Amino acid sequence: MSRVYRDGDTVLRGMNAEAFADFQHLAATRFFSAAVERGDIVRTEVVDGVELPDDWAGVLRHERIEVVTYPYEWPFEMLRDAALLQLRLTREAIAEKLITKDASSYNVQFAGTRPVFIDIGSFERLRKAEPWPGYRQFCELFLNPLLVQAIRDVPFQPLLRGSVHGISPVVTADMLGGAGRLTKGVFTHVKLHARAELRYADADKERDVKAELKRAGFGPGLIDAQLKNLEKAIAGLKWDKQRSTWSDYGDRSHYTDRDLDAKDEFVRVTISGAAQTPRLVLDLGANDGRFSRTALAAGASLVVAVDSDDLVVDRLYRDLREEGERRILPLVLDLSDPSPGLGWRSRERLSFVDRVRADLVLCLAVVHHLALTNTVPLDEIVTFLADLGAPIVVEFPHRDDPMASRLLARKREGVFDAYDLPNWDKALERQFKVHDRITLPSGTRTLYRCTPR
C-alpha cells in the first residue's frame, strides 16, 4: 500500500513495508534507472532521516509534474502514446521479475508532449503463475476508448469524464456492433472479453477464473505475449477524421495580416514587458497554437493550450511531438463545460480551474463564441476569467466583426442586444483593472491587458 501527499511543491509517497520492499526491488533494476533517465518514469528518490508514522516503512519524493491533466482532456494521439508507454514499461518490468498491478490511464501524466509514468507504487514483484492484474483496467481506460473513436468516430473524452472507471468491454462491444471486425484486438480484447464479463459477473466466479489460470501455469511468457498483442493493437489504431468545425480556422482568413501582427505584438509585449516573466501561460481557444508559440518566444516556460475541438488539438499535439517541442501542453477542453471535480467525494480528480493556476491567461477569439454560441452572459464570462486568478489578455469582437456578425445573424432579433462593447467594458472593469487596450487595425476587435481586482 502507498499513498501520495503534497507538501507545498513537494510530492511525497508514503509506503508500507510490502510496498517499500517492492520499490527497493524496483530501484535495484537496470530497467528502472534507464526508464527514469529516458524520462519515461518520474524521477524518484528515497527520503532519509524523517520520522515515519507507524504504518509507513519508507517515504519517496517524486519530481513534481507542473500541470496535472486527465485522460478525458487528452486528444486521441495523447491517449495512444500513454497506452504504449504503459505497455512498454510493463514488458520491461517483466523481464526483471516485476509487473504493474494496475494499468490506469491516470497513472500517466504529460510533460508537454512527453508521457511520464508517475505511479511508482504500481510496480510489484511478479507472483508465480498469476495473470497480469492490470489487463481489465488497461482495456477500460486505454484500449476501449481508443477503439470507439478510431472505429466509430465517437469521442472518448465525454465517456471517460462520465466514469473514472472507463468503458467496460460489454459497453464497448455494444458501441462497436459489427464494425471493426478486422481491426486487430477487437475480437480478443473486446468481444471475448465482453462474453467473459457477462459469464463471470460475480466475484466468486472471477476468483475461480483466476485460480484456473494459476493451475494452467499462466507465467511471464504468456503475459508478455498478451502485452505484445496489445501493443500491436494500439500501434495499429488511427483516427482518420479529416475535418471538424474549427480544423480550418488556422488560415484565419477573417483576420488581416495587420490584425494578426498586432495581436502577436500585444501578447509579446505583455509577457516580455512584465515585471516578472510569466512562467505558466494558459491559452484558451488555442486552435493551432499560434499565440502559444508567441508566448514561448516572449519568455514563457510552459503553455497549456486548450481548445474544444479534439481534432484541432490532436493535430497540434502531433505537430509538437514531431518538432520535439515539449513546452506546450495541448488539451481538449470546452470552456462552456470545463472539467469538474470527479471521483470520490468529487475530489479524487480536481476541476480544471483548481488544477491549472497560470501566471497569465490568453483569451483570444473566444468571448464571442461563449456569448453567442453558448449563450453565456458577458458578466459570467468575466467571472469565469476572474476565477482563474491571473492577469489576462482578452479579445472582444465588436458586433460588426465578421465572425460576430455571422453568429448574430443566426439568432432571433433582440436576444443578444446586450452583446456590445460598452456592456463588455462595464462587465470587465467590475472585476479587472484594465492597464492597456488597443483596437486592432481592422477596427472590429479590441484587445485588453488586465489584472484581477
pLDDT tens digits, residue range 140-170?
999 999 999 999 999 999 999 999 999 999 9
Q: What is the pLDDT at residue 364?
A: 96
Share of the chain above pLDDT 90, in %: 75
In CATH, 249-452 is 3.40.50.150 = yes
pLDDT band at residue 326, thresholds of 50, 70 and 90? very high
Q: Which of 6, 124, 123, 1 is nearest to 62 (CA)?
A: 6
| C-alpha angle 420-423-425 in degrees, rounded to nearest 5 | 105
pLDDT tens digits, residue range 110-122?
999 999 999 999 9
How many distinct helices (H) and strands (E) make up the chain?
Answer: 19, 15
Report the distance separating Cα 332 and Cα 280, nearest Å: 18
Q: What is the pLDDT at residue 296?
A: 97
pLDDT tens digits, residue range 305-319?
999 999 999 999 999
Residue 98 near residue 120, CB atoms below 8 Å: no
Q: What is the pLDDT at residue 185?
A: 87
Q: What is the mean pLDDT of the chain?
A: 90
List the grid coordinates of 72: 478525458
Report the distance separating Cα 46 and Cα 63, nearest Å: 12
Q: What is the pLDDT at residue 385?
A: 97
- Residue 295: pLDDT over 80: yes
- Residue 94: pLDDT over 80: yes
The domain locations on the chain are: 64-235, 249-452
Share of the chain above pLDDT 70, in %: 93
- Residue 18: pLDDT over 70: yes
Q: What is the pLDDT at residue 266?
A: 97
Task: Quickly list DSSP for 213-235.
Answer: HHHTT--HHHHHHHHHHHHHHHH
Q: Which residue has the higher pLDDT, 20 or 204?
A: 20
Q: Is the overall model pTM greater than 0.85, yes or no?
A: yes
Taking CA atoms, 243 is separated from 87, 97, 247, 312, 449, in Å, by 31, 46, 6, 9, 34
pLDDT tens digits, residue range 236-292?
999 987 665 555 555 555 568 899 999 999 999 999 998 899 999 999 999 999 999
| C-alpha angle 116-118-120 in degrees, rounded to nearest 5 | 135
Q: Which of 323, 276, 332 is nearest to 301 (CA)?
A: 276
Q: Which of 180, 101, 97 is nearest to 135 (CA)?
A: 101
